[in-house]
Amino acid sequence: MWGRLYGLTIARPSMLAFGIEESTAIELDPGAQPSVIGDLSVVALDGRTATSLVGSNGAFVGLNVLLDAFAPGDRIQGPA
């Protein structure tokens, strides 16, 4: 999962990437902030201010990628 999430932050740096575990979801309710429901956590990676490189071995590198984790019941709030 982590490789794909970091890959998304490099491929689309202007967008957030979310990792949603099994038996977990982000509830979108009109007029309310999105929230995590289910059994496990949701992680968000924000690469909008990150630096991306290709390492000497050909692997992608993401520096200064912001990682946030949200537990069940947490409201997901974007950056100020």
Q: What is the pLDDT of residues 17-47, one digit of tens each?
A: 999 999 999 999 998 999 999 999 999 999 9
d(CA 55, CA 52): 10
At residue 29, what is the residue type? D
Copy the structure tokens of residue 14: 């202007």
Helical spans, DSSP H, in 1-80: 2-11
At residue 44, what is the residue type? A
Listed by start position, the domains of the chain span 2-70
Copy the structure tokens of residue 17: 């990437």
Q: Is the pLDDT of residue 66 over 80?
A: yes
Between residues 5 and 41, the one the model is more confident about: 41
Buried b / exposed e along 41-79 (16+ C-beta atoms within 10 A):
ebbbbbbeebebeeeeeeeeebeebeebebebebebeee
Residue 39: the pLDDT is: 97
Most confident of 10-14, 17-21, 60-64: 17-21
pTM: 0.80
Residue 79: the pLDDT is: 61
Between residues 32 and 2, the one the model is more confident about: 32
Copy the structure tokens of residue 22: 């099994």
